[in-house]
Amino acid sequence: MITALSDDTSRLRATVDFVSQQDSETLLPLLLPGLDGPELRALVERCRFAHAALLLFPPHPRALDAALTECGLLPGAAPQPSVVVRDRLAQRHHRAAADLDVGILRPAVHGRDGRPRMVEVFTLTVPPGSGLEAIAERERAHHDEAHVAFEVAAPDPLVLRGLRASFARYGAAPDGGGYNPHENGTVFYFAAPATSKADYRRIELYAPGDHRDQLAAHLAEFRAGQPAETMLRLLTGAWTTQALTTFAHLRVPDAMDTDRAVDIGTLASAVDADADSLSVLLRHLAGFGVVTEEAPGSFRLTPAGALLRAGDPGSMRALALMYGGPFYQSFAALTHTVRTGQVAFEHVFGTNHFDHFARDPRLAELFDRSMAASRRMFEPLPAHPVLAAAARKPRGATVVDIAGGNGELLTHILATHPGLDSVLLERPHVIEAARPRLDARRCTFLAGDFADVPPGADVYLLSRILHDWDDARCLDILRHIAGAMPADADLLIVERLLPTDGSPSLAAAWDLHMRCNVGGRERTAQHYARLLTDAGLTLVGHTPLPLEGRVLHARRTSPAVTP
């Protein structure tokens, strides 16, 4: 044990010396041989050497404090749980994660350039006779958790894309990564090239902020080199859908807090669940950032998990229950859709989803709430120039929301523009649900369908409607709208657009969903432009919205075309 403690202290001292002596300009060429000249200077300007990490194995906390003190580091506070490293060790050594008491400390070290840096110290407590000695021996030999980290200064998509390309050009391969919502930071891991002259085989690139678009591309490159693991994760995706649905159905998020952890026994009692099974569920969801395990058997809700609370504004609980409920059942018949081109939902339930939900008030309410749960997509829409211009008209203006659901979008538009009036065109039972939300002095409730679009308004809205239908029905809808629109009126259409360059897109997933469950489809901007032209309208342009949405702006360009 004395030899092991001495070895840990020596490795810690070597890491402290390394951090204090290195800087970006000297370290990057060691890690990426061949990097020099203008490209080295560009990387040095964009990323700063921040820390080096190692894993230690003290027999008890006092031994860790002694090692830190001997290396000139202040012991400070007790280590915080390190869930990521704990889970990596559990997977690598086929042990239960709850048996591994892994913590993390970040003592400060000053570099030779005077800049503050850190040593990231992971600790696995290995008491004598604990049975963990083999793990410590193997990890000391292989240094799997050792890495060096660079922090990106002022990251943006172009900078991150350039850094990733530079690392790849000099032999560094993507090696995983993730987004940490608690500190709002994105991590890109790389495996150093075989020719690296540094002792560290892993490189961390840390970008403050949420850069999950760049992370998705990075992880896709990583998974391309691990096809079996990638396929296994894909095949088990349905398990995660049901885990999230169960999490929401049992109202577990409502019994948790984002500020403090709750022990599994208390939580299980609160939601009437089996404690052991609930802990398994939560550990799975921890891998997706829905909860974090602060200590063995003690879980805290993350901001992502809080989106599944029942009563919170912007709750996505209804989506979880819908995707894990009726749509989950119909997706089991996706083969029928792909083989025949027919809608799997109708094959499973015997009718289209609108009629199926309308027959069951509970499902109808759930469906309407699930549609409203995507409010983030249209949150910026009230500020659209078309609506702002309509609100400035001295005579006043009217906005018609066609199939506007429970009035969620209209509520925000009217709150933003007090001078606007509105019309909500919807099915009778949906209108009744919308009445409490909208002020009857500023909203006219019109029961009907697409043939009943009222004439003479200033702005017409179609929010996530056209993707429900095939081209023939879309053309019919657009012609009804064009026939009702005055010559100077505007049409705003909210949809996701399929990319034309093959890039990853949420629209591709929704395209499959619409074919399987609804009978509609997602489309490219060019496809929508053709439909609009055939209806006597012109696509003026389109601008981005959250969740990969777009708002398309169209106007009349010819006399009304009657359907």
Q: Residue 147: enclosing H or E segment and its boundaries?
A: strand 147-152
d(CA 73, CA 75): 6
Q: Residue 420: enclosing H or E segment and its boundaries?
A: strand 420-426
Q: Which percentage of the chain shows pLDDT scores above 90?
A: 57
Are the beta carbons of 155 and 209 closer than 8 angstroms?
Answer: yes
Average pLDDT over residues 237-263: 95
d(CA 254, CA 240): 19
pLDDT at res. 189: 92
Strand partners, 423: 400, 444
Average pLDDT over residues 8-30: 92
Q: How confident is the model at residue 266 (pLDDT cuts 50, 70, 90)?
A: very high
Query: For the chain, what are the domain ranges?
Result: 2-230, 236-323, 326-359, 375-556
269-295 residue pLDDT tens: 999 999 999 999 999 998 787 998 888
pLDDT at res. 559: 53
Q: Say yes or no to pLDDT of 563 above 80.
A: no
Q: Residue 422: enclosing H or E segment and its boundaries?
A: strand 420-426
302-313 residue pLDDT tens: 888 999 999 887
* Cα Rg of the chain (Å, integer): 28
Q: Say yes or no to pLDDT of 348 above 90.
A: yes
Average pLDDT over residues 425-440: 89
d(CA 86, CA 124): 8
d(CA 142, CA 135): 11
With both helix axes pointing from N to C terminus, report the angle between 24-31 and 37-46 in degrees, rounded to the nearest 10: 120
pLDDT at res. 293: 84
Q: Say yes or no to pLDDT of 458 above 60.
A: yes
pLDDT at res. 265: 96
pLDDT at res. 5: 53
Average pLDDT over residues 186-208: 90
pLDDT at res. 6: 67
Average pLDDT over residues 328-339: 96
Average pLDDT over residues 133-153: 90
Q: How confident is the model at residue 558 (pLDDT cuts 50, 70, 90)?
A: low
Q: Which percentage of the chain shows pLDDT scores above 70?
A: 96
Average pLDDT over residues 430-443: 90
Which residues touch 545 (CB under 8 Å, ≥6 apart)? Answer: 377, 378, 379, 380, 381, 494, 551
pLDDT at res. 301: 92
Q: How confident is the model at residue 47 (pLDDT cuts 50, 70, 90)?
A: very high
Q: Say yes or no to pLDDT of 561 above 60.
A: no
468-516 residue pLDDT tens: 999 999 999 999 999 999 999 999 999 999 988 877 788 999 999 999 9
Q: How confident is the model at residue 181 (pLDDT cuts 50, 70, 90)?
A: low
d(CA 425, CA 448): 6
Q: Is 420 exposed, middle or buried (0-12, 13-18, 19+ CB in 10 A)?
A: buried
Domain 375-556 has CATH 3.30.360.10: no
Verdict on whether the full-model pTM lies above 0.75: no
Average pLDDT over residues 517-541: 96
Q: How confident is the model at residue 560 (pLDDT cuts 50, 70, 90)?
A: very low
Strands 537-544 and 549-556: antiparallel
pLDDT at res. 4: 54
467's tokens: 């993707």
Which of 51, 384, 417, 467 is labelled catalytic? 467
Are the beta carbons of 444 and 423 closer than 8 angstroms?
Answer: yes
Q: Say yes or no to pLDDT of 135 above 60.
A: yes
- The span from the first CA to the last CA of the chain, in angstroms, equals 86
- Tell me which of 357 and 181 has the higher pLDDT: 357
- Tell me which of 129 and 342 has the higher pLDDT: 342
DSSP conformational letter for 403: T
Chain center to CA of 430: 30
Average pLDDT over residues 379-403: 93
pLDDT averaged over every residue in the chain? 89
Catalytic-residue membership of 142:
no
Helix (H, G, I), strand (E, B) or coil at 186: strand
pLDDT at res. 562: 47
Helix (H, G, I), strand (E, B) or coil at 491: strand
Q: Which ranges of 316-434 does DSSP label H, i.e. alpha helix?
A: 317-323, 326-331, 334-340, 344-349, 353-358, 361-372, 375-378, 385-391, 408-416, 428-434
Q: Say yes or no to pLDDT of 153 above 50.
A: yes
Class of domain 236-323: mainly alpha
Q: Say yes or no to pLDDT of 2 above 50.
A: no
Average pLDDT over residues 28-53: 91
How is 197-256 classified by DSSP, letter by letter?
Answer: -SS--EEEEEEES--HHHHHHHHHHHHHT-HHHHHHHHHTHHHHHHHHHHHHHTTTGGG-
Average pLDDT over residues 15-23: 92
pLDDT at res. 102: 87
- Tell me which of 111 and 512 has the higher pLDDT: 512
2-230 CATH choice from 3.30.930.10, 1.10.3720.10, 3.30.565.10, 3.10.180.10? 3.10.180.10
